[in-house]
Amino acid sequence: MQATRRVAGLLAVLALGLVLAGCGLLASPDPTPAAIPAPDCGGARIVIPGALPCEDIAAIALGHLRQEAPALLERGVIAVDVDLQGCPRNEVPPQLDCTGEDFVQLVTFTFGPAAPDGPIEPSLTVGVAPATGRVLGIVNPLIR
C-alpha cells in the first residue's frame, strides 16, 4: 500500500511537471534550438488566391533553415517575423529566385547571441512563394 502511494505521488509530480512545462512556466529565458516562437505575421494585406496560412509559410521556412543553416538555429531563435512583399527584381547579388512570382513571404528568423567561433549573422530571411510554398532563397543581411 505504501509503495502504491509513492508511485501515485511520483506520477502526480511528473504530471504536474509536464503540465507546467507545456504551459511554458518552466521555460528558460534564453533561446534554445527547440523553442521557436510563434510567427508575427505582418506586411502588405493582399488577397492572393490559394495563399498558405502564415504558420505554414513559417514552417516551410524553418524546415529550409534546418537543412541549410543548422548552426544558426543552434543559437536559438528569439523572433520569427513574416511579411508579404513584392518580389525584388534586379538585386545585386540576386538572393531570391522570383521567377513566376509577383509576391514573396519573407520569413525572418532572428537568432540568439553568436558564439565566439560561430556564425555571426544576426538573422536570416527565407523567401517563400505565398501560394505554392516554393522556397525562393535565403536573404542574408550581411550581403546587402
pLDDT at 19 over 80: no
How far, in Å, CA of 133 to CA of 18, rounded?
Answer: 34
pLDDT at 133 over 60: yes
Residue keyed to cell 532563397: 137
Residues in the chain, overall count: 144
Task: Say yes or no: 86 and 114 in one domain.
Answer: yes
Q: Global pTM? A: 0.73
Task: Say yes or no: 67 and 91 in one domain.
Answer: yes
Task: Say yes or no: 49 and 2 in one domain.
Answer: no
Q: How many CA atoms within 13 Å lie on the side-chain side of 97?
A: 4
Please state, for a pLDDT cut of 90, what percent of the chain lies above it.
55
Task: Say yes or no: 36 and 98 in one domain.
Answer: yes
Domain that holds residue 12: 1-29
